[in-house]
Chain A
Amino acid sequence: MAGKIRVRASLNGDKCEVKALMRHPMETGMRKDAQGNQIPAHFIKEVVAKVGDRVVMQAHWGAAVSQNPFLGFEFTGAKAGDVVVISYVDNKGETDDGSATVK
């Protein structure tokens, strides 16, 4: 499941605006299925955004972040052609990533 995070990075003045959309069920562990069985928790725990070696955003999430999470933020010091890479790790140790070239 690599490379499935959709990322957009666009320059707006001196700031680079980043928008990312991840695919993830974000199960809280509190829901039950039709048979009344508890659906186990399955959620993204950590998200990191980088440009080269520079960490431009890092987040810890709980299960209360919505399904197929959205993340938006801005940072300075980017130039066109830089590549923003976003990756996550969930509570089962599964990972995904995605990248975008700054425009």
Chain B
Amino acid sequence: MMFQSRRSILKMGGALIALAALPLRALANFVRNDAAFTATSMDTTFAALGAEPVDSADIVVGSPDIAENGAVVPVEISTTIPGATRIMIMVEKNPNPLSAEFFIPEGTVASVSTRVKVSQTCQIFGVVEANGKFYKASKETKVTLGGCGG
């Protein structure tokens, strides 16, 4: 009896430790690529990511044609590319093009929306990683009032 309860307590402790370790493991899979976030052009961003994206018609970049206020530009990127695990938003002419990256776990729809700053009229790129390959599509957004500094 004594031993049994001791064992079950041990088991419980073990389960708790496993639970606590889970979020850490999940986070560790996706390490932030600081070089990509600080790169100052589309080319150097792709180089930092080790990506050579090809144009794809299966990525939809939803952003306004004209943004009055570049500080708040709604962007939605969705894709039907099978096995998409990562969606990135890059704003071509921002000081650092890479604005955000989203990891798509299994069971999550490959479609994300957020709002970004756009410094001046340029292409907004949706870049998707699927099975180690990179794909891109873009849409132009005209900006009347820049979103950086001003």
**Bound CA span A100–B149, Å:** 34
Q: At the interface, yes or no: A60 with Cβ under 8 Å from chain B?
A: yes
What number of residue pairs across chains A and B have CB atoms under 8 A from each other? 115
Q: Is A60 a contact partner of B109 (Cβ separation < 8 A)?
A: no
Q: Is B105 a contact partner of A57 (Cβ separation < 8 A)?
A: yes
**Bound CA span A74–B79, Å:** 13
For A59, list chain B residues within 8 Å (CB). 100-103, 112
Within 8 A of A (CB), among B60-85: 71-74, 76
Q: Is A65 a contact partner of B23 (Cβ separation < 8 A)?
A: no
Given contacts A50-B23, A64-B117, contact A58 B102 (CB under 8 A): yes
Q: C-beta contact mask, B4-37 vs A, less than 8 Å → 1, else 0?
A: 0000000000000001001100110010110001
Q: Is A46 a contact partner of B32 (Cβ separation < 8 A)?
A: yes
Given contacts A30-B149, A60-B32, contact A66 B115 (CB under 8 A): yes
For A55, list chain B residues within 8 Å (CB). 23, 26, 105
Q: Is A56 a contact partner of B105 (Cβ separation < 8 A)?
A: yes
Chain A minimum-CB-distance residue to B71? A66
Q: How many residues of B contact A (CB 8 A)?
A: 39
**Bound CA span A50–B73, Å:** 26
Chain A minimum-CB-distance residue to B18? A53
Most chain B beta-carbon contacts within 10 A, residue among A54, A67, A69, A73: A73
Q: Is A72 a contact partner of B114 (Cβ separation < 8 A)?
A: yes
Given contacts A53-B23, A59-B103, contact A65 B115 (CB under 8 A): yes
For A72, list chain B residues within 8 Å (CB). 76, 112-114
Q: At the interface, yes or no: B148 with Cβ under 8 Å from chain A?
A: yes
| B98 CB contact (under 8 Å) in A45, A53, A62, A74 | A62
Binding site for B on A (CB under 8 A): 15, 28, 30-32, 45-46, 48, 50, 53-67, 69-77
**8 nearest A-B residue pairs (beta carbon):** A64-B99, A72-B113, A66-B115, A74-B109, A75-B108, A58-B103, A55-B26, A59-B102
